[in-house]
Amino acid sequence: MTCKRGALIVLEGVDKAGKTTQCNRLVQALQQSGRPAELMRFPERTTTIGQLISSYLQKKSDLEDHTVHLLFSANRWELAPLMKKKLEQGTTLVVDRYSFSGVAFTSAKPGFSVDWCKQPEVGLPKPDLVMFLKLSPAEAALRGQYGQERYETSIFQLAVQEKFDQLMDDPTVNWQVIDASRDVENVSSDITKRSLDIIEAVQRRPLGELWK
Ligand code: NYM
Ligand code: MG
């Protein structure tokens, strides 16, 4: 029997869209259906690089904007070998944010182009499916206050949403927009169905490289 590779599935969206909840539910649903699946997230705050990022996000330290962008990217690169290994072994990875958050958040800052922001991401494992959990700013506001971390303001999130819109206009990436305003169960079953389809489809397809 040939070993079927796992799928690389990413959930993206602005803060409060429900990514973390949906990633957890998806991993559970896949595991319950007998498919090997694991959760990953970026930033992965437990590594040495991740700790620098976490301290920056919590405003415990300041980092120059280009520097922090490259640290977010380095945090993905340091986990890329592990990701490839798990995918090859047949485990599907469900990832809470990826390069798209990296590009959208930094390019929402003044003086950063989308093109510059993409460069350090080129060649990373390419997601087989990126689901964008779409929630309007008005609906996000109904979900309560933003947290205390850097970037968690409605004005910045609006700029980030515009950058995501720009990034989604890219036929080289398998973007699928999910209406995240529905109740948790509806969103969850939608996401699970799309994931099962892609897991089936990628078995015969090699893993790609992002933006290459
Ligand atoms: N973020 C996340 C970036 O600025 N660049 C990145 O590459 C990634 C992956 O960090 N506001 C931002 C988006 C979020 C924050 O939040 C991480 P969380 O709640 O850990 O997903
Ligand atoms: Mg969060």
Residues 144, 34: Cα–Cα separation, whole Å: 36
Q: β-pairing, 92-96 with 37-41? A: parallel
Q: What is the pLDDT of residue 76?
A: 99
Instruction: Give the residue, 43 or 142, on which the prediction is more confident.
Output: 43
What are 86's two structure tokens?
């798990």
Q: Which of 212, 9, 13, 207 is nearest to 119 (CA)?
A: 212
pLDDT per position as a tens digit, 65-109: 999 999 999 999 999 999 999 999 999 999 999 999 999 999 999
Helices (H), the chain: 19-32, 48-57, 65-88, 99-107, 114-118, 137-142, 154-168, 184-202
Q: What is the DSSP letter of 101?
A: H
Kindly report the protein residue whose alpha carbon is nearest to atom 17 of ligand 1: 43
Task: Report the alpha-carbon distance of residue 159 to residue 155 in Å, rounded.
Answer: 7
- pLDDT band for 1, please (50, 70, 90 cuts): very low
Residue the block writes with tokens 């809470």: 96
Q: Which atom of ligand 1 is nearest to the CA of 72?
A: 7
The tokens for 105 are 């958040």
Q: pTM of this prediction?
A: 0.97
Whose structure tokens read 């803060």? Answer: 15
Which is nearest to 180 in space by CA: 142, 210, 128, 146? 142
CB contact set of 165 (below 8 Å; sequence gap of 6+): none
C-alpha of residue 42 to centroid of ligand 1, in Å: 7
- Return the closest-CA partner of residue 147 out of 15, 11, 14: 15
Please compute the mean of the pLDDT values over residues 143-166 and round it to a whole number. 94
pLDDT the model gives residue 2: 58
* Ligand 1 pocket list (CB less than 6 A): 15, 42-43, 57, 72, 97, 101-102, 105, 151
